[in-house]
Amino acid sequence: MNNKNRIENMLTEFPESMRVPETVYIGTGTAVYFSARSPDKETANEDALAMISIDDITSVIIVADGLGGQPAGEEASRIVINCLLETLELISGDRTRIREAILDGIERANNELLESGNGSATTVVVAEIQGKMLRTYHAGDSMILLVGNKGRVKYSIIPHSPTGYALEAGFIDESEAMLHEERHFISNFIGSPEMRLEIGPQIEMSSRDTLILASDGLSDNLYEDEIVELSRKGPLKRCARNLIASANKYMTEEATDRQQHPDDLTFILYRPGAVSG
């Protein structure tokens, strides 16, 4: 579903299941996005995404993952997207106030979910892009990954989860994390009285970098080096199709090196500059 308001160029998606990835040109870059519900369920897709152009060089990209097993996970992901849209609209294209608007939107969503009293909750990852400058915001265990054309991981966020912290500290390796019984526990999310939004450093992207925002349907089924290899080069839409095929393979087939974890799958691939999708 596409919604328009006073922000001139905005796309939001709350899909049940997309069949193929789609391309959109946003700010000074190109994005390919995809969202589909878990292959093992017929209930709603609890993920949501948005891409917003603030002006000709400034954009905001968002992925939210409503928490499975929580009441109204679908509603929670949409609430955080809509709250961010509302606060970004209020700044009237003033790019100096984007950080303020993102913080206000997340706070507004957290308060709304807490006031609902039904336990609704969601993760969120946000990328603020001004030209080739990137700043990230996140709460939960969804993914933000910046990958160079040659496969170097230039930046990644730390998932707010026991296994995410253990992996970052070197107490476990990625293989152990993929098989860990507590992999799907998270320690920070929108809808918690203790919610905290983590803000990343400002990073300059190159024209051949690929920025990935994704729900954990991607990172719970593919290793980081697999995601990097599938997304780092070639047309973005082909990269997206390869990610979808690989993630779905491990959602539906047993493997010895990872747990099978069917889940809603949502991601946005973004590259700076007017590159082919």
Q: Which pLDDT band, with edges at 50, 70 and 90, does 118 fall under?
A: confident
- DSSP conformation class of 60: E
Residue 216 in tokens: 């954990």
Q: Which domains does the chain have, with CATH numbers?
A: 9-272 (3.60.40.10)
- Residues near 156 by beta carbon (within 8 Å), at least 6 away in sequence: 143, 144, 145, 146, 224
Beta strands in the chain (DSSP E): 9-13, 22-26, 29-36, 47-53, 58-66, 122-130, 133-139, 143-147, 153-156, 198-199, 203-204, 210-214, 265-272
pLDDT of residue 275: 53
**pLDDT, tens digit, for every residue of 132-156?**
999 999 999 899 999 999 999 999 9
Strands 47-53, 9-13: parallel, antiparallel or unpaired by DSSP? antiparallel
- DSSP conformation class of 70: S
pLDDT of residue 33: 94
pLDDT of residue 271: 96
**pLDDT, tens digit, for every residue of 228-276?**
999 999 999 999 999 999 999 988 888 777 777 788 999 999 999 755 5
pLDDT of residue 60: 95
Quick one: what percent of the chain has pLDDT higher than 90?
58
Q: Which pLDDT band, with edges at 50, 70 and 90, does 4 fall under?
A: very low
| pTM check: above 0.75 | yes
Q: To 10 degrees, the CA torsion angle through 14, 135, 5, 29?
A: -80
Residue 18 DSSP SS3: coil
| Distance (Å, whole) CA 14 – CA 77 | 9
Poorest-pLDDT segment among 8-12, 178-182, 249-253, 255-259: 8-12
How many residues are recorded in the chain?
277
For residue 240, which of 265, 269, 263, 262 has the smallest C-alpha distance?
269
| Distance (Å, whole) CA 221 – CA 138 | 20
Mean pLDDT of 57-81: 88
Mean pLDDT of 107-136: 94
**Residue 134 near residue 203 (C-beta atoms within 8 A):** yes
| Distance (Å, whole) CA 276 – CA 3 | 25
Beta pairing partners, 58 = 130
Q: Which residue is listed with tokens 């009285």?
A: 193
Between helix 73-90 and helix 98-116 the angle, nearest 10°, is 150
Tell me the CB-side half-sphere exposure of residue 215, using CA atoms within 13 A.
30
pLDDT of residue 232: 93
